[in-house]
Structure 1
Amino acid sequence: MNNYERETYTVTGKSFTAVAVNMASKAGEYMKSKLGQSLNVQVKTSLHDLVTEVDKGTEILIRKIIRTYFPTHAILGEEGVEPGAEASRLALEAMKDEEYVWIVDPIDGTTNFVHGLPFFSVSIALAHRGEVIVGVVYDPSRDELFVAEKGKGAYVHGKRMSVSPEERLEDSLVATGFPTDRERVLPLALRQIEAVAPRVRNVRSAGSAALHLAYVAAGRLSGFWEANLNAWDIAAGMLLVQEAGGRITDIDGTPYGLQVRDVAATNGRIHEELLDALK
C-alpha cells in the first residue's frame, strides 16, 4: 500500500527541520496528556468550528520554542488569527514581506480531539519568502511523524515516502472534508461529493486536512480535496505531497500558493480527472 524507498532520513543539530520535529513531538505529548480530560470547548465561527484550551496551550508551547531558536522569525498560527476567511487572508497578507514565517495549526482536527476520535494532528511549516521549505505533520495517536524538506524528499518513520500508483480515478481512494461554513460552502462540498463519488473507488472524510494530505504523500490515499481551508491547514501537507512525487493545486487547476483555500492534492496521475470531476 505504501511505496517507501530504502533511503533513510534523519535530522541532526539545530536545523529548521530538527526544531520543527522537536516542536511537533512536544506538542503531541502535550495533546495526548489532555485526552480524556474535561475540556473547555468554545465555538468560533459556527457550532462546527471549535477551539479548546488545548489548542491554545499547544500553540503557546510551539511559539515559545520558535522564539527560543529563531527570535526574528514571524509566526502565523491559527489561534493567533481571528476566525473567518477574510481574517485569515489579511493575516497572511501582513506576513508577505517577512523572510521566514512559521505556519502552525496546533490541533488540526479539533472536533475529533474533543470527541476522543484518534484522527488529529499538529501541522508545522516554515516558509522562506513565501515558499514552504519545511513541512511536519505529527499524529500523536499513532506516533507517526511525517516530515519533508524542500528538495530532499518526504519521510515517515524515517523512511522515504512516495505517492500511490493508481493511474485512473475509478481505481482511486480519495478523501475530502466538511467545511465549518455550513451556509455558503457546505452546499458546494456536497455537490462535489455527489460528482466525485460515482467516479472513484470510494470517498473518505476523517476530519484532519493535514493528515489527509500526509496520507496522499504516503500512498494511502490517491487524492484529497477540500474547500475553504487556511494556510495552516495545508502548508505542511502540501510540501509532503510535492516531495513524495504528487501534485497539489487549487481546484481550478492553478498552482498552489499560500493564498489557496480550495485545494486538490493527488498522486499526480489522477489529478486532471479529479479536477474534471470537481468542475
Structure 2
Amino acid sequence: MYEAQREACIAAAQAGGRVAMKFFRKLDPAKVTEKSRNDLVSEADHASEAAIKAELDLRFPNYGFLGEESGASGDSCRRWIVDPLDGTLNFVQGFPHWCISVGLWDKNGPVVGCILDPMREDLFVAVRGQGATWNGERITISAQTGLDGAFIATGFAFQLGERFQTYAKALNSIFYRAKGIRRAGSAALDLAHVACGIYDGFFELGLRPWDMAAGVLLVQEAGGLITDWEGGDTWMESGNVIAGNLYVHQDLLEAVKGS
C-alpha cells in the first residue's frame, strides 16, 4: 500500500535536490531576498519547489499541494506538503546543512514522507504503518534512557519574537542535563536524525507545516513520540514540537512545561 505515493515522494525530493545542488555556493546575491526580516528566500528555493511540484503533479494530478514558496492549491484532504529547501540561511551562507522535505498528508495525518540531504546523499523515507528507512536500511529511535546525558537537537529563529523568552527558559532547564545540544538550522533534518538515533530528542517552537510534514512521520514510524509543548496533539497547528523516545520525550516535556 502507498507504493506509488512513496515512489513519487522520493522522485520529487530527488528532483528538487538536483536543482538545489546546481545553485549551492553559486547563488547570485541579487536574487536572495527577505520574505520578512532575517527570513530569506533564494532563486534556489523557487526552482526546487517548481521541480518538485512538476514531478508530483505528473504522478498525482488530483492531489493538493502546499509549498513554502507557492502556498496552497487543490485538494486539502490529500495534499503534498513541501519544503523545497529547509535550511535556506545555511544554503545562502554556503553552510552544507540543508535538505529537501516532501510529505503526503490525508485527513488522518501523514501518509508518506521523504527527507533528502543531497550533500551527504542521505535519503530518509517513511510510510504509514510500514516503518522508516535511511538509505534503504530500517531505522529505530534512540534507546537513550532519559534527558540526563542525552544528545538533543533544537532550533530557534528571529521570527519567534517575544516567544524566545519561553524558549530560553526551556533551554536553560535542558542545558544542564543534556550531554550536548545542537542547533544546526534545519528542523526537517533534525527530525530525520532523531528518527535514526543520531539525536536522542528534539524540541522547537513555531515551526511551519512544511518544516515537519515528513519528519514527524519518520519519528513516529521509527518508534518515537511527537507532541506539542503541552503533551497534546496540536503540534501541526501550533508548530511547537517535542520528539524523542518515551523516556527522553517525557523528560523534555517536563522541562518545557516547567518553563
When normalised by structure 2's length, the TM-score is: 0.93
More strand by share: 2
Whether contact under 8 Å (1:121, 1:137) holds in the other structure is: yes
Q: Of 77, 89, 111, which residue of structure 1 is paired with 2:89? A: 111
Q: Of 209, 231, 234, which residue of structure 2 is paired with 1:231? A: 209
Alignment of 1:77-96 (within 5 A): 77-81=67-71
2:141 corresponds to 1:163: yes
2:48 equivalent in structure 1:
58
Whether contact under 8 Å (1:75, 1:101) holds in the other structure is: yes
Alignment of 1:265-276 (within 5 A): 265-276=243-254
Deviations 1:132-184 (A, max 9, x none): 11010000000000000000000001000001111121021001101231522
Deviations 1:224-277 (A, max 9, x none): 011000111011000000000000000110025532410001122211111111
Alpha-carbon separation, structure 2, partners of 1:259 and 1:188: 18
Alpha-carbon separation, structure 1, partners of 2:127 and 2:238: 20
Instruction: For residue 36 of structure 2, give the secondary structure of its aligned residue in structure 1.
Output: coil
Deviations 1:51-102 (A, max 9, x none): 0011011111111111111111110100023xxxxxxxxx6xx98x733100
1:135 counterpart letter in structure 2: G
1:46 equivalent in structure 2:
37
Gaps of 5+ in 2: none
2:35 corresponds to 1:37: no
1:172 equivalent in structure 2:
150
Instruction: For residue 259 of structure 1, give the secondary structure of its aligned residue in structure 2.
Output: helix
2:57 equivalent in structure 1:
67
Instruction: For residue 207 of structure 1, give the secondary structure of its aligned residue in structure 2.
Output: coil
2:193 corresponds to 1:215: yes
2:220 equivalent in structure 1:
242
Alpha-carbon separation, structure 1, partners of 2:63 and 2:234: 23
Alpha-carbon separation, structure 1, partners of 2:207 and 2:219: 16
Alpha-carbon separation, structure 2, partners of 1:234 and 1:262: 11
TM-align CA RMSD: 1.8
1:183 equivalent in structure 2:
161
When normalised by structure 1's length, the TM-score is: 0.87
The number of aligned residues is: 255
1:3 equivalent in structure 2:
none
Gaps of 5+ in 1: 1-10, 82-90
2:100 corresponds to 1:141: no
**Which is further off, 175-184 or 147-156?**
175-184
Alpha-carbon separation, structure 2, partners of 1:276 and 1:108: 29
1:24 equivalent in structure 2:
13
Deviations 1:3-45 (A, max 9, x none): xxxxxxxx99x70000110111121111111112133211112
Alpha-carbon separation, structure 2, partners of 1:182 and 1:17: 34
Whether contact under 8 Å (2:10, 2:114) holds in the other structure is: yes
1:87 equivalent in structure 2:
none
Alpha-carbon separation, structure 2, partners of 1:249 and 1:136: 20
**Which is further off, 29-38 or 16-25?**
29-38
Q: Of 180, 183, 199, which residue of structure 2 is paired with 1:202? A: 180
Identity of aligned residues (%): 38
